[in-house]
Amino acid sequence: MEQKPTPAPPIHKFPSFPFDPYPIQIDFMNALYHAVEKGGVAMLESPTGTGKTLSIICSALQWIVDQKSKSSPNPKATGKDSRDQSATDDDEPDWMRNFSRAETTKKMKKLGFGLGSCNKKCSDGNCANPVTEESRKRVERKRNVEGVDDDEEFLVEEYDSGDEVIDGGDLKRKAGDGCFSSSDDDGEEEEEQEQEEEVSKVYFCSRTHSQLSQFVKELKRTTFASEMKVVCLGSRKNFCINSDVLRLGNPMRINEQCLELQKNKNQKGSKIKILGDGGRIRRTKASSGCPMLRKQNLQKKFRNEVCQSGALDMEDLVQLGKNIGTCPYYGSRSVVPAADLVILPYQSLLLKSARESLGLNLKNSIVIIDEAHNLADSLTNMYNTKITLLQLDQVNSHLEKYFDRFRNQLGAGNRRYIQILMVITRAFLRLILGDMDTSSAHSCHAEEKNVCVSTMNINDFLFSLNIDNINLVKLSRYLKESNIMHKVSGYGTKLVNLQSGSVLQDSGNNSLEGSSLSGFQALVDILLSLTNNDSDGRMIVSRCTSTCSRQDEEGYLKYVMLAGEKIFSEIADQARAVVLAGGTLQPIEETRQRLFPCLLPDRFHFFSCNHIVPPESILPIAVSRGPSGCLFDFSYNSRSSPSMIDELGRLLCNLVGVVPEGIVMFFSSFEYEGQVHDAWKASGILARILKKKRIFREPRKSMDVETVLKQYKEAISLPRADLREDSQIHGALLLAVVGGKISEGINFSDGMGRCVVMVGLPYPSPSDVELMERIKHIEGRSEPNANRHVELLGNDTCTVDAVQTGFDIIRNCRRRGKEYYENLCMKAVNQSIGRAIRHINDYAAILLVDSRYASNSLKGSLSYPTNKLPQWIKDSLVSSTENYGEVHRRLYQFFKFHKQRRYQ
């Protein structure tokens, strides 16, 4: 069912728009302003190139300005300072955590445990189990007597959860039940009252770093850049200026090392370690904390500079941190409470753990999610977790060695939890290895294993391993609150280093320790995922057997989140309004069903507008046949045939002669692009194309994309005077991949994209186990009996032909599952072809190369693919052509017309 746009809202003024807006921009800004005023969820659709970003800025921030002018200043609200400047998570340096100690104490009491290692409730201000200086000394004496000596740094402090982690087998599996929340605490009402006093903010998030930088660039064109306090948030990897930490490269290792430096504060010196053979090594200690966080006054200076400097993007903030000599990551976080506009990446806003860590308060604020065309899948994918066989083996080995070493020194609480962790890791290993002995996991190489993938419900997974009586909520809390991960990882790394005779570095730079910590974190994430509702997701088990297999196949456990509505509701229930914006958000109904199915009609707003370019500036054609008359069929079974690849090559040889400047051709995958390229090279087609245009290919590595795009642009803009006199080369061809870096977020305006060629219908691979589980989940919610019908297909996907199994699942879907599969394809098409036509004077041709795009080719299909194209393309689409000659004629006339118009 096609969603009808919400009726036109009242007209508002937007004086900060830097030039006279087009009518559709005025309509868009009014729709957004009205949606924010009314509250709820809004989906606003405006084609790329229509000034969508600028319209978002001028309407959302104008609403903030209007609200401020309506209400008198609230000293209580504006006076808030350091109290809310950071999260209550342990992801903080000491100096920042001290700012919110009172709030931290209150929230920790709500959870039923105190600060530090004591988790018993206190009365009259005294802890029921205080850790006094005398008790610490007593523990130290005990350690010395028992010979813990230099290993004492790895001994975890005593932990008491208050009750047993082993239940009587009646553990209820609710979505996060009792995880870290309480609804009947006396302090909750006070906290809510404080939150209500928060001033309204705008939280803007997008998918990539470049998109956020583009947003800041557009913001600087308005007066809001200097009138409002703006801060841009990012990851430690993007913000870190400590060269010793940054060179670790891996984001997880950078995060771990940053937190370790906070714990290592004021620790200096070194020790001599005597080895068993009489040798000695020096154990070097890290410097006292991170040098970029030693001086609080520099952080205050950074905060003041940001508030006074207007809009700064990530690069500006990093440079400011370097100039001042302080950390821009924590510095930018401390600006959030005072900011009117917070710019941040998807994960920082959509992940609950990230919001809590950053201390984001969405109360009475506006959340704007740009590039929201795949929001439902992006949201659930963020909650996917995975642990590999090698990670499990390493964690289990470290746990066993640690437990053997400290068995007599550990308290009852820690001993119990570590034993339970070993039980779980061994059970996981047995499941992955199948009939193989768990002791052979470390020595079993990929070429000696065959991998079989299956899926299971959460409850079935727990019951099959006989661990359903373990309270995973308490176990996850233990892993988060105690320092067990770092202690076990550190001790395991020490043993490995001692065996190899290397010098130990406590600074955390050791790659083994980073790898061990990554494995522990993966285990924590998996255990937390298993506390979700049974129907919320699936466990995917990749098993190993002893027969030969490919080297890149590896055993693993993976949790796949399928239900997104509860995750999204956590944001929507807090914020005043949530705005989903994008170039094309169709189909609207699918997004509604997956993210907010229970939202009342008066709380939902939808707006869509056409493109600003006139119809004559775009030429979309469904190309059914090639130059030799061969019918184009790039379906899975036909696309690799030599005749199909050759016919596509002949088409391209004709296009490079009629299309000026740049052509971007999209393939369904890197593998298929490589297959086609190699075939063209062997047949001589590439040589023919190179006589007309230079050829570039999208690289697999993201870091190389910018270089290729620069070369592509230079080849297109090369003046004729720089070419040889006899050269016929004019422009360039870029071979790209749907779903790659180039297909999203890259603008091919003007000559960079005079023609976009979409090869086939880029349906996702039906062999993707996660995708098939998602399709079955979506299909199951559409009709009462759909679940039973789909379950007959079986969960086990380990078949001779996984692709055929996937096709069987799709064919057995009645409606929603099949629609979702088709929508994934057409969303990818729309994103790719939307790279062209970026402004009102731009023009381009769009070729949809496949007979399935033709209007009369899919009579038995659920829907025509072209029905899911954006309206501004669909209105001009040439849906049927008799032969390639007609296509060539239309292209020739189109580019001749625009060439004449350019020189008029």
pLDDT at 780: 83
* H or E element at residue 605: strand 604-608
In the predicted structure, residue 859 carries a pLDDT above the cut 80 = no
Instruction: Give the mean pLDDT of 355-360.
Output: 90
Task: Output phi, psi for 862, to 5 deg.
Answer: -60, -40
Tell me the mean pLDDT in the region 467-481.
Answer: 92
Beta bridge partners of 734: 664, 696
For residues 475 and 416, give the distance between their C-alpha atoms in angstroms, rounded to a whole number: 10
Cα(508)–Cα(590) distance, integer angstroms: 46
* Residue located via tokens 């298993």: 530
C-alpha span between 353 and 545 (Å, rounded): 37
pLDDT given for residue 673 in this prediction: 97
Q: What pLDDT was estimated at residue 294?
A: 86
Question: What single DSSP character describes residue 765?
Answer: P
Residue 777: which of 726, 821, 839 has the closest Cα? Answer: 821
User: What does the pLDDT look like over 422-440, one tens digit per residue?
Assistant: 999 999 999 998 754 444 4
User: Does residue 328 or residue 767 have the better pLDDT?
Assistant: 328
Q: How far apart are CA 551 and CA 101, in angstroms?
A: 51
Q: Considering Cα of 865, then 870, then 874, then 880, what sign does the dihedral take?
A: negative
User: What's residue 497's pLDDT?
Assistant: 80
Please report, for residues 582, 661, 688, 718, 753, the alpha-carbon distance to residue 723 in angstroms, rounded to integers and kept in the order given.
Answer: 41, 14, 18, 8, 21
- Strongest mean pLDDT among 130-144, 686-700, 823-837: 686-700
Is 5 a residue whose pLDDT tops 70? no
CB-CB neighbours of 39 under 10 Å = 17
What one-character DSSP code corresponds to residue 564? -
Strands annotated E in 156-229: 202-206
Nearest to 848 by CA among 833, 827, 862, 859: 833
User: The dihedral of CA 188, 193, 197, 202: what is its sign?
Assistant: positive
Residue 541 vs residues 179, 394, 537, 772: alpha-carbon distances, Å: 25, 18, 13, 14
Q: Do 593 and 817 touch, CB atoms closer than 8 A?
A: no
Q: Where are the alpha helices (DSSP H) in 71-160?
A: 75-78, 94-97, 101-110, 133-145
State the Cα–Cα distance between residues 542 and 42, nearest whole angstrom. 40
Q: Quickly list H helices, 750-785.
A: 769-780
Among 396, 461, 460, 470, CA closest to 429: 396
Asked whether residue 57 carries a pLDDT value surpassing 60, the answer given is yes
List b or e across 322-335, with b for residues whose CB sees 16 or more CB atoms inside 10 angstroms.
Answer: eebebbbbbbbbbb
Q: Which is more confidently placed, 493 or 366? A: 366
Split at pLDDT 50, 70, 90, the class of 858 is very low
Tokens encoding 786: 């759909």
The average confidence (pLDDT) of the chain is: 80
Taking 90 as the threshold, does the pLDDT of residue 802 lie above it? no
Q: What's the CA gap between 51 and 28, in Å, rounded?
A: 10
User: What is the average pLDDT across 229-250?
Assistant: 91
Q: Which helix (H) or strand (E) holds 681?
A: helix 670-683
Per-residue tokens: 754: 């005079």
Within 8 A by CB and 6+ apart from 241, the residues are 292, 318, 321, 322, 327, 328
**Residue 440: CB atoms within 10 Å:** 14
> In this structure, which amino acid lies at residue 179?
C
CB burial readout 852-865, b (16+ within 10 A) else e: bbbeebeeeeeebb
The label of the residue with tokens 């130059």 reads 627
Q: Give the separation between CA 526 and CA 462, rounded to whole angstroms.
A: 12
Torsion of CA 499, 501, 503, 505, to 10 degrees: -10
End-to-end CA distance of the chain: 46
Q: What is the pLDDT of residues 192-213, one digit of tens each?
A: 434 444 679 999 999 888 889 9
Those residues whose C-beta lies under 8 Å from the C-beta of residue 392, and which sit 6 or more positions away, are: 425, 428, 429, 432, 441, 519, 523, 557
Confidence of residue 349 (pLDDT cuts 50, 70, 90): very high
- Between 459 and 721, the more confident residue is 459
- The rounded distance, in Å, linking the Cα atoms of 142 and 145 is 5
Nearest to 584 by CA among 837, 827, 758, 377: 827
Q: Which residues contact 441 (CB under 8 A, 6 or more apart)?
A: 389, 390, 392, 393, 429, 432, 433
CB 666 within 8 A of CB 705: no
Of the listed ranges 51-60, 182-191, 690-699, the one predicted with least confidence: 182-191
Supply the pLDDT for residue 805: 84
Tokens of 64: 């903030």
CB-facing half-sphere around the CA of 564: CA atoms within 13 A: 23
What is the β-pairing status of strands 341-345 and 230-232?
parallel
pLDDT at residue 762 in the model: 96
Q: Which residues pair with 755 in a beta bridge?
A: 663, 845
Give bridge partners of residue 282 from the DSSP assignment: 272
Indicate whether 106 pLDDT > 60: no
CA 59 from centre of chain: 27
Encode pLDDT of 450-462 as tens digits: 568 889 999 999 9
CB atoms within 10 A of CB 404: 8
| Model confidence band, residue 781 (pLDDT cutoffs 50, 70, 90) | low
What Rg do the C-alpha atoms of the chain give, in angstroms?
30
Q: Residue 477, exposed/middle/buried by CB under 10 A (0-12, 13-18, 19+)? A: buried
CB 3 within 8 A of CB 589: yes
**Tens of pLDDT along 132-161?**
454 454 445 444 444 445 677 788 888 766
Kindly tell me if the per-residue pLDDT of 239 is higher than 70: yes
Is the pLDDT at 300 greater than 50? The verdict is yes
Q: Are 335 and 304 spatial neighbours (Cβ–Cβ below 8 Å)?
A: no
Whether residue 68 is predicted with pLDDT greater than 70 in this model: the reply is yes
